[in-house]
């Protein structure tokens, strides 16, 4: 995970020093015409566990007995501000029912950079500090431990703060005001979570 974060940082840094600010005209910014400010609403989603779920017995919406695939239910709200051509700040807030269908959520602040784009399509990557919280899984008799939350417990909640929460995303421009928005959070090697939604120009 740390190596993947380092790779994203390098890609963002190279892109940052090679792009212009939104106020400067460039062939690229004229051709893509992506919004300077936008908000997006996304459904959360679907989670894939590459090695199978640690506790599939408590996953009510799993699609297989080993818990490789699990549906979740929730929403994420994002606000984006483009500060340079091809780069934008993102703030995100999410509430959802996790794999065990208990309350969970996160708050995120970060930077996104465009890896590739044209008039209709954009593939982005980014990272930033993220605070995650969920109802304590110790309420389930099957639960003993997981590597991500460990023993970080406060009251009825488990929590974790990470500096380099990663995200990859694909945007498809429907029109000048609206885009289809797919995101993937790679909590490798344990989990991959997908988000689907729409992004609106402000």
- Predicted confidence (pLDDT) per residue in 159-198, tens digit: 999 998 899 999 999 999 999 999 999 987 789 999 999 9
Q: Residues 129, 79: contact at Cβ < 8 Å?
A: no
Report residue 166 as tokens. 């990663």
The answer on pLDDT for 97 being more than 60 is: yes
Q: Residues 84, 113: contact at Cβ < 8 Å?
A: no
Cite the beta strand spans of 66-190 per DSSP E.
Answer: 69-84, 87-97, 103-117, 121-135, 153-154, 157-173, 178-187
- Domain at 2-20+38-201, CATH from 2.40.160.20, 3.90.1560.10, 2.60.40.10, 3.40.50.300: 2.40.160.20
Report residue 16 as tokens. 């940052």
**Residues β-bridged to residue 130:** 108, 162
pLDDT-derived band at 10 (thresholds 50, 70, 90) equals low
Q: Residues 90, 77: contact at Cβ < 8 Å?
A: no
Give the whole-angstrom CA distance, residue 40 versus residue 69.
25
What pLDDT score does 188 carry? 72
pLDDT-derived band at 28 (thresholds 50, 70, 90) equals very low
Report residue 17 as tokens. 């020093």
Give the whole-angstrom CA distance, residue 172 versus residue 16.
22
19 vs 100 pLDDT, higher one: 100
How far is residue 7 CA from its own chain's centroid? Answer: 17
Helix (H, G, I), strand (E, B) or coil at 141: coil
- How is the chain split into domains, by residue range? 2-20+38-201
């Amino acid at each position: 995970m740390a190596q993947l974060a380092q790779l994203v940082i390098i890609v963002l840094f190279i892109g940052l020093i090679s792009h212009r600010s939104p106020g400067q005209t460039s062939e690229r910014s004229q051709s893509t015409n992506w919004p300077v400010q936008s908000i997006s609403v996304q459904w959360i989603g679907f989670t894939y566990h590459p090695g199978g779920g640690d506790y599939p017995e408590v996953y009510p919406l799993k699609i297989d007995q080993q818990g490789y695939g699990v549906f979740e239910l929730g929403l994420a709200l994002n606000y984006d501000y483009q500060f340079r051509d091809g780069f934008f700040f993102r703030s995100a807030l999410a509430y959802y029912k996790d794999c065990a269908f208990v309350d969970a959520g996160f708050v995120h602040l970060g930077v996104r950079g465009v890896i590739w784009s044209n008039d209709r399509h954009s593939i982005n990557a980014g990272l930033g500090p993220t605070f995650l919280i969920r109802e304590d899984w110790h309420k389930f008799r099957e639960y003993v431990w997981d590597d991500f939350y460990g023993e970080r417990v406060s009251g009825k909640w488990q929590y974790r703060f990470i500096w380099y929460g990663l995200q990859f995303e694909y945007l498809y421009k429907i029109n000048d005001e609206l885009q289809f928005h797919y995101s993937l959070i790679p909590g490798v090697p344990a989990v991959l979570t997908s988000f689907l939604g729409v992004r609106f120009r402000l």
